[in-house]
Amino acid sequence: MANHKSSLKRIRQTASRRLHNRYYAKTMRNAVRKLRATSEKAAAQELLPKVQKMLDKLAKTNVIHQNKAANIKSGLMAHVNKLS
């Protein structure tokens, strides 16, 4: 168990940030799943900018790594471009 006030505060902060990050990471994963499941090009093109914006925001706040965001965006672009 922690013995210092600062370490107790750090534990509280870490727990709340972890919950916050888990929520937004899960929301992002669901959005990516929804976009990958889309088979209509028009619907996918409408959804793509929203998902890209979400990925960029999460990468900026270090919820996910920048390279992971770039990798996911690249795969989504390829998926949307393959649709007819």
Q: What is the 3-state secondary structure (H, E, C) of the chain?
A: CCCCHHHHHHHHHHHHHHHHHHHHHHHHHHHHHHHHHCCCHHHHHHHHHHHHHHHHHHHHCCCCCHHHHHHHHHHHHHHHHHCC
* pLDDT at residue 1 greater than cutoff 80: no
Smallest Cα–Cα separation from 55: which of 41, 38, 40, 72? 72
- Look at the domain 5-82 and name its fold: Methane Monooxygenase Hydroxylase; Chain G, domain 1 (1.20.58)
- Domain residue spans in the chain? 5-82
User: In the prediction, which pLDDT does 23 show?
Assistant: 97
Q: How far apart are CA 56 and CA 50, in angstroms?
A: 10
User: In the prediction, which pLDDT does 57 show?
Assistant: 97
Note the pLDDT tens digit of each residue in 30-73. 999 999 999 999 999 999 999 999 999 999 999 999 999 999 99
User: In the prediction, which pLDDT does 51 show?
Assistant: 97
